[in-house]
A and B are shown apart, each in its own frame.
Chain A
Amino acid sequence: MATAAKKAPAKSRSDSKSLSAPVTPKPVDFTKEQDLAAYREMLLIRRFEEKAGQLYGMGFIGGFCHLYIGQEAVVTGLQMSLIEGDQMITAYRDHGHMLAMGLSARGVMAELTGRRGGLSKGKGGSMHMFSKEKHFYGGHGIVGAQVSLGTGLAFANRYRENPNVSVTYFGDGAANQGQVYESFNMAALWKLPVIYVIENNRYAMGTAVTRASAETDFSQRGVSFKIPGIKVDGMDVRAVKAAGDLATEWCRSGNGPMILEMETYRYRGHSMSDPAKYRSKDEVQKMRSEHDPIEQVKARLIAKKWASEDDLKAVDKDVRDIVADAADFAQTDPEPDASELWTDILI
């Protein structure tokens, strides 16, 4: 059957002001505090993920486990642009997002080991974690599903007429799912405050973007819907923050959605069980040595004499302590009580 859909009247916010089509902003130099904070945050994610990989190898973490190593600047930079109440939602490579939102390393790690102190009481696992308190809406195992859900978070913001923005993450792989474009259409039609963050780490599992995507410039995937998009150096936390500032301002001003294509890279396989034979070791090594997001900040801190090697070692020790504590907790915390099998199915 063919019936023409009618356009729902989309009420622009009263404070709506039109901005010109956005272009990739130049990275703005961070203050000492910002660089130190970014360094610490990214290092926490890196060390956390390294430990998770280790615990997986030891059998403490089961199932699928997707590490965020290499992509730390994306969530860290974007988080710096958000205000209280802004929501975040992503797919299954989600540990870093939760740490960046300020969720406890213990809660995340204990969820990975399936213990009662995990963020989902051990019932969600690595791919399915949530925090109502921090407005983190998962943690989704179905590639692309979070894009429609994230659009719904933005719908709720507009419905409630609050100033918040939904930051909806997905990968270059999910970018080929049909519901992504259904969501783009509605978000643009209704001017919903949603930032679509496409984390282009070049591989959808084992398939390089050039083998899966007819259009590999993901920033332009919204053109049919008049959604502006920009490419961002996702390995430079300052570039990410500048793009985040631009996009949040764009959305909060009632202009509707915006796409940020984050050009990033994952150092590890798609999941712990992926040998990553679809790319060369040289390619990985080149990214690590020339573009590592943490090393970039470290070099700046040293060059500007904002921190000494010893200062940074102290940061590393702090972070390692947090991660070690989380790992200890995650190994010793009891499994959920058997009665939990039957809870949280219905309210």
Chain B
Amino acid sequence: MPIEILMPALSPTMEEGNLSKWLKNEGDKIVAGDVIAEIETDKATMEVEAVDEGTLGKVLIAAGTEGVKVNTPIAVLLQDGESAADIGKGAAPAKAEAPAAAAAPAAAAGPVAATPVAAAPKTEVAADPDIPAGTEMVSTTVREALRDAMAEEMRRDGDVFIMGEEVAEYQGAYKITQGLLQEFGPRRVVDTPITEHGFAGVGVGAAMTGLKPIVEFMTFNFAMQAIDQIVNSAAKTLYMSGGQMGAPIVFRGPSGAAARVAAQHSQCYAAWYSHIPGLKVVMPYSAADAKGLLKAAIRDPNPVIFLENEILYGHSFDVPKLDDFVLPIGKARMHKTGKDVTIVSFGIGMTYAIKAEAELRGMGIDAEIIDLRTIRPLDFDTIIASVKKTNRLIVVEEGFPQSSVGDHIANQVSQRAFDHLDAPVITIAGKDVPMPYAANLEKLALPNVGEVIEAVKAVTYR
């Protein structure tokens, strides 16, 4: 029976990829281990090795095809005695092919059918007052938006440079720095050894002299090794020096759960850094916010923690086509106006809020969604104005529940707008457990749309 070769998943967050090139032609003999094709994932271009032996009977997906979903049959392998005529006679799906080079750093790049949060459905989005009406919008991934933000700021200011693991020659572990080495050279795009504590300190020291480093952590989980330099050196120097010198530095990288990378690689740091005076903490959801806020963070004279999300990297959003699109740090974005309940979220938490809102609409509940964008300083004015209108508040985030961002918001709203609340504030967070590896347990550990809907029903007494 002919064997179908399937589109392999080659990174924890890969849902689809581009079939860049076939290295074998129809009719070629293939033995296990042969490199048969090149596939561009969300992180890198990977070679695909054959697992089975046979003859390449038919190429089902042509080279150059983009957006091929994981597990789509891409070719048919004929075994001894079979011919092209046998194709279609109940081909057996092959085990997904194996990657030849584990380019994805966080990935034990095994054949995992990763199905993380699916792309958010299109929502009605209130116009962002920071984007002039009539501006042309361009569909852009968060990944590209971050890269564009850094490139634009590096063109604008020679004191801006980026350092981190694999940011230069490798083009970024998550391809965020793709092309920067080629444009700006090794002086300004600096590959570091695997030495988070040390290079965070080097970055802060350089910033104290007035340079404007962007320090990329491959993930913020690794920044735990560097947290002393972030908190004790970057955040406090301005105060301790009586205002003489600070650290104009951006620490950026993915934070929070990706997909199936388990306990040590899946943790949200929003609440951690939001605890520290002297830091600003930004956590965008959309590509437009990622771009406008990263540019603002690079220009900001203070240390900024810029928390990204691996799953959102590949999501596309409309980004305004403007020469210099900079957004204000510390200002929430009204994602959708509504009158019955306020849902506050940020980062990937927004995906749950947005999906829940669509379902709630069907139930006749008109929810307002606020995307915080910045965790510190937190835009309480926007939250409280909304609570005064809807009298009900839900906060959604993926981080751990105790001392969460939601806890802080609930506390502040109870102090500042108690008389406006018609129900207790409900905080939805990740479960109070280390992130498990098993797919079903991981799903249980994260918030879900159902929880948001149940919470809204509870506070609206439905």
Contact = CB atoms under 8 A, between A and B. Distances in A.
Contacts of B179: none
A346 interface: yes
A191 to B, nearest CB: 13
A220 interface: no
A25 interface: no
B166 A3 contact: yes
Interface residues of A, number: 54
Interface in A1-31: 1, 3, 5-9, 11
Interface in B185-237: 186-187, 190-195, 197-211, 228-229, 232-233, 236-237
Interface in B30-45: none
B245 A130 contact: yes
Interface of A: 1, 3, 5-9, 11, 87, 89, 118-124, 128-132, 137-142, 145, 147-156, 159-160, 166, 178-179, 182-183, 185-186, 189, 343-347
Contacts of B210: 156
A142 B237 CA distance: 12
For this complex, into which size category does the number of interface residues on chain B fall? 35 or more
12 contacts: A3-B194, A5-B193, A8-B190, A122-B242, A137-B208, A151-B198, A152-B203, A156-B210, A179-B197, A183-B198, A344-B242, A346-B278
A149 B237 CA distance: 12
A151 B205 contact: yes
Interface in B365-393: none
Interface in B233-248: 233, 236-246
B55 interface: no
Interface string B338-379: 000000000000000000000000000000000000000000
B237 to A, nearest CB: 7
A182 B192 CA distance: 10
A123 B240 CA distance: 6
Interface string B97-130: 0000000011000000000000000000000000
Nearest to A192: B202
Interface of B: 105-106, 161, 165-166, 168-170, 173, 186-187, 190-195, 197-211, 228-229, 232-233, 236-246, 277-278, 280, 301-302
Contacts of A124: 239-242
A120 B242 CA distance: 4
A121 B421 CA distance: 44
Nearest to B207: A152
A179 B206 contact: no
Contacts of A122: 242
B194 A153 contact: no
Given A3-B105, A11-B187, A139-B240, A149 B193 contact: no
Given A3-B165, A6-B168, A11 B186 contact: yes
Contacts of A149: 201-202, 204-205, 208, 229, 233
Contact of B239 (A8, A118, A131, A344): A344
A152 B206 contact: yes
Given A119-B242, A121-B243, A186-B198, A87 B204 contact: no
Contacts of A150: 205
Contacts of A153: 205-206, 208-209
Name the residue in A89, A148, A183 with the highest tally of chain B Cβ atoms < 10 Å from its Cβ: A148
